[in-house]
Chain A
């Protein structure tokens, strides 16, 4: 080994000088990393820094172009995911990798089922072992239940049970918390700590810095495919880590501009959709950013969808700039000056295979068309204009949006809606799964829009974001608005109390 031996235990799994390219893109450049038993190692870096490639190299999905993977200090070559698994490496990928049609038990033991005579599967033993595993994790899931319809949190529990089932020595988790609620994250961390204390080496990737500090002991930072630093987390601050990730000082993550609110442009009165949300009333003024907080499932997204006309409502009314909207008609809402940037940009915000140009152009098909025919020239100049204004990073405007990083995809969705010149902009989780640098840019953009007189309604589960950007915070709890808190009084405690229904009525 070239490194001087640490005082602690020897690394279970390590990368030494690993490089990997995809065509002209150099995803990893001479990266080294050591995972020690009984330690949680965090991996930080912006989107596109090479984290997923690194993980896939450890998981046997990719083979390095140069450099070595070391298992217990010996160089190994993984010919596929099966080899890595046989070496005791369990990977929880960003996208769930369960088989929806198969039972939980079969998912856990896929490829390694207990056998009976003649190589037949021992269904009974599989089921019993699954039940034992699930019990160890402290949850109650039926081993025979198909994986279809499981919540993301439960899917991750199944993935962890899979890792437990073969006594994984190395557990690699790629953004496991991105779609989890607070209590689910706590449960997950509990399980991770137990595994760590049993001597497993854990590699943990997250965009949430506070989580890295909560569970990690050391951190390796990647930027543009290269390793910037590998160091203990003790003594570091979030700012230190961010600086390593983005390679520059972040001016400010929440560049809130003070704007004097103007007249009311969006007015929602006693809006009710049976069984979903009840008696929701609020107003948003010109130049104001109103945060809409609450737990996942409180009905925030549903309210936004109803206001924009995607879903119908049963009672109440919505007014934009004094004009009453009829429900269930997004085209009417758009004409009145509403824009909605949806929660799930891949499924609802973008047509992934279409070009950047076409995606931005989608909202302007009527305005740029001539005699009912598309006007390619007008569409292109409109799209280019917005892509440049939002500093979307792309090679050619004709490239499919699927080729962009998550943050840049989000900018394309924003561009698509800003191009309509909205009076009211509703953004639903505008920075979920986006790296810190782009996040700051999105915040600056929202601030600038408000300063220009746009009314912004921002739904977010990211409390610091709500507290940092909103002039007023509306909190929803079980389908109702449970509190309205001015910026001066909004703290994590007051918002969370209202979100969990603990606030005094």
Chain B
């Protein structure tokens, strides 16, 4: 009688089983990819140096940090929350790791330090949001300023420069296999692992569930608070890791590092197709969104367009993404309503199937 075991259940033919949601999402990701490729093609046509080895490397390096933070942010946005403090967390972690290295510390410990700091702030955000029952936008706006404030008090007018850091650490930040930087590989690994977790693990699916309908999640016995706490902690950890990578990549950190970064991150996530109302989207989309936004930064200079246009174009992309999502959502809803499953009796179905 139990139907939860695999062996005694008949294998179902995918009766036109169009995975509608998956298909739409994949289309969404393909669309971003197409825009990205067109943009790069145009840039290459206008400036043949664009896709040189160094050009590709720069593009990947620039995108890496954003991809990493956007991956963490995705988990939070999926649960119908947001973390605005990622920029501040990135800044303070980068400075902490830099200070440790300047004083002769071990690079591995420095990275761990940055991640732990991020986890700490993530836990703080998660606790405030899940226990306080206060809107995440307001809570994390508060922690954004608090962390930035602590950072300013601690750092003051000091700064870490590449000369303070061990040579190996800086080399790692710009090195890689062939044209692929180490940092990009790390971000890719994190991205794929996160994507796999979200699709194939129960707790990952529950993040989607509780973003889709928090009240239903509570009634279904999902540990809502624990999941939200975990999402924020993960987001904080990645923001901390991104801080360490920022240090390795640029070697230059002061009290303003990461200022305003949270908005770029949220834009990347939304452009990448993660619904701001939670419950749908994928980390791959968010990563593509991050890649798209960073490449706008590189494409415009390559085409000789003033970089003052970058922000405006990012804004347009954001609005476009939201408009597309809305239109697609309406279309899908209409399609789902129009297609009332043809009802058959159990017997008729049995005859037809099998």
Q: Which residues of A contact B (CB under 8 A)?
A: 59, 61, 80-83, 85, 91, 93, 95-103, 106, 109-115, 119-125, 127-129, 131-133, 135-146, 148-151, 154, 164-167
Contact = CB atoms under 8 A, between A and B. Distances in A.
Contact of A129 (B9, B17, B332, B344): B9
B219 A140 contact: no
Contacts of B353: 135
Contact of B202 (A85, A98, A121, A145): A121
7 contacts: A99-B216, A129-B9, A135-B349, A136-B346, A144-B17, A144-B22, A146-B336
Contact of A132 (B3, B16, B215, B220): B3
Contact of B341 (A124, A125, A142, A167): A142
A163 to B, nearest CB: 12
Interface in B304-354: 332-333, 336-337, 340-346, 349-350, 353
Given A81-B220, A100-B212, A100-B213, A131 B343 contact: no
Contacts of A135: 346, 349-350, 353
Contacts of A123: 200
Interface of B: 1-6, 9-12, 14-22, 199-202, 205-206, 208-209, 211-213, 215-222, 275, 279-280, 332-333, 336-337, 340-346, 349-350, 353
A98 B219 CA distance: 10
B350 A165 contact: no
Contact of B208 (A96, A101, A141): A101
B202 A111 contact: yes
A391 to B, nearest CB: 32
A149 B21 contact: no
B12 A125 contact: no
Given A97-B219, A132-B12, A138-B346, 14 more contacts: A59-B219, A81-B219, A97-B215, A97-B220, A101-B211, A106-B205, A113-B205, A119-B202, A121-B201, A131-B12, A140-B344, A140-B349, A144-B20, A166-B4
Contacts of B216: 96-99
A97 B213 contact: yes
B201 A119 contact: yes
A129 B4 contact: yes
B222 A110 contact: yes
A128 B9 contact: yes
Nearest to B222: A111
Q: Is the interface of A mostly helix, strand, loop or mixed?
A: loop
A306 B222 CA distance: 44
Nearest to A85: B221
Contacts of A137: 346
A296 to B, nearest CB: 13
Contacts, number: 151
A196 B82 CA distance: 46
Nearest to A141: B341
A142 B17 contact: yes
B154 to A, nearest CB: 41
Contacts of B16: 142
B209 A99 contact: yes
B130 to A, nearest CB: 15
Given A121-B201, A139-B341, A140-B342, A133 B3 contact: yes
Contact of A149 (B206, B211, B337, B342): B337
A144 B221 contact: no
Contacts of A93: 219
Contacts of B341: 139-142, 154
Contact of B206 (A97, A110, A124): A110
A125 B350 CA distance: 19
A151 B217 CA distance: 20
A295 to B, nearest CB: 15
B219 A128 contact: no
A376 B205 CA distance: 50
Given A99-B279, A101-B21, A151-B340, A125 B6 contact: yes
B18 A142 contact: yes
Nearest to A93: B219
B25 to A, nearest CB: 10
Contact of B4 (A81, A97, A112): A112
A175 B110 CA distance: 59
A59 B336 CA distance: 32
Contacts of A99: 208-209, 212-213, 216-217, 279
Pick the most buried of A85, A110, A133: most chain B CB atoms within 10 A of its CB: A110
Contact of B333 (A121, A129, A148): A148
B201 A120 contact: yes
Contacts of A91: 219
Nearest to B348: A138
Nearest to B346: A138
Nearest to B15: A142
A80 B5 CA distance: 26
A70 B3 CA distance: 27
Contacts of A127: 12, 17
Contacts of A103: 19, 21
A106 B343 CA distance: 22
A115 B202 CA distance: 9
Pick the most buried of A99, A106, A149: most chain B CB atoms within 10 A of its CB: A99
Contacts of A149: 332-333, 336-337
B346 A98 contact: no
A479 B213 CA distance: 35
A103 B340 CA distance: 16
B17 A81 contact: no
Shortest Cβ-Cβ A-B pairs, 3 listed: A82-B221, A149-B336, A138-B346
B342 A101 contact: no
B202 A113 contact: yes
B221 A128 contact: no
B213 A114 contact: no
Pick the most buried of A96, A129, A140, A149: most chain B CB atoms within 10 A of its CB: A140
A329 to B, nearest CB: 26
A217 B308 CA distance: 75
A127 B12 CA distance: 8
B202 A148 contact: no
A291 B9 CA distance: 51
B4 A120 contact: no
Nearest to B279: A101
A143 B17 contact: yes
B201 A143 contact: no
Contacts of B345: 138
Given A99-B279, A139-B343, A148-B333, A81 B218 contact: yes
Contact of B221 (A102, A106, A111): A111
Pick the most buried of B16, B211, B219, B350: most chain A CB atoms within 10 A of its CB: B219
A120 B336 CA distance: 29
A240 B123 CA distance: 58
A33 B199 CA distance: 43
Contacts of B213: 97-100
A128 B6 contact: yes
Contacts of A128: 6, 9-12
A59 B6 CA distance: 29
A150 B340 CA distance: 8
A396 to B, nearest CB: 26
A144 B18 contact: yes
Contacts of B5: 114, 125
